[in-house]
């Protein structure tokens, strides 16, 4: 089981968390102005890097807060926390 570092609770077992996907994906301000391809890109296209990945987690069965953190997708090691967003 992964130990995931919660900024409020410290390292905690993975089973207490839900994954929130890639961080920093901003919803377009005016969705109706986008064509289908641009909307599909917002919904589905992610960077999927090999290595450092900024992502969101929610410590659902703990403090229940969302937070952003960088995880290496090769080693599963967690690096620094980031500001939310």
Residues at the site binding another protein, with contacts judged by CB under 8 A: 1, 8-9, 12-13, 15-16, 61-65
Interface with Zn ion, residue 9, by CB under 5 A:
yes
The H-or-E segment that residue 68 falls in is: strand 66-72
Please tell me the distance from the alpha carbon of residue 69 to that of residue 79, in angstroms, as a whole number: 7
Number of residues forming the site for Zn ion (CB under 5 A) = 6
DSSP 1: -
Residues 40-59 binding Zn ion (CB under 5 A) are: 59
Q: Which residues pair with 12 in a beta bridge?
A: 4
User: Binding residue for Zn ion (CB under 5 A) from 4, 6, 23, 69?
Assistant: 6
Summarize as ranges the residues that interact with Zn ion (CB under 5 A).
Answer: 6, 8-9, 59, 62-63
């Amino acid at each position: 089981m992964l130990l995931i570092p919660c900024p409020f609770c410290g390292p905690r077992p993975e089973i207490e968390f839900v994954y929130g996907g890639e961080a920093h994906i901003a919803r377009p301000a005016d969705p109706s102005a986008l064509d289908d391809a641009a909307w599909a890109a917002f919904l589905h296209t992610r960077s999927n890097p090999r290595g450092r990945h900024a992502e969101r987690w929610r410590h659902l069965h703990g403090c229940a807060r969302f937070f952003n953190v960088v995880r290496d997708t090769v080693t599963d090691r967690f690096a620094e926390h980031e500001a939310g967003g």
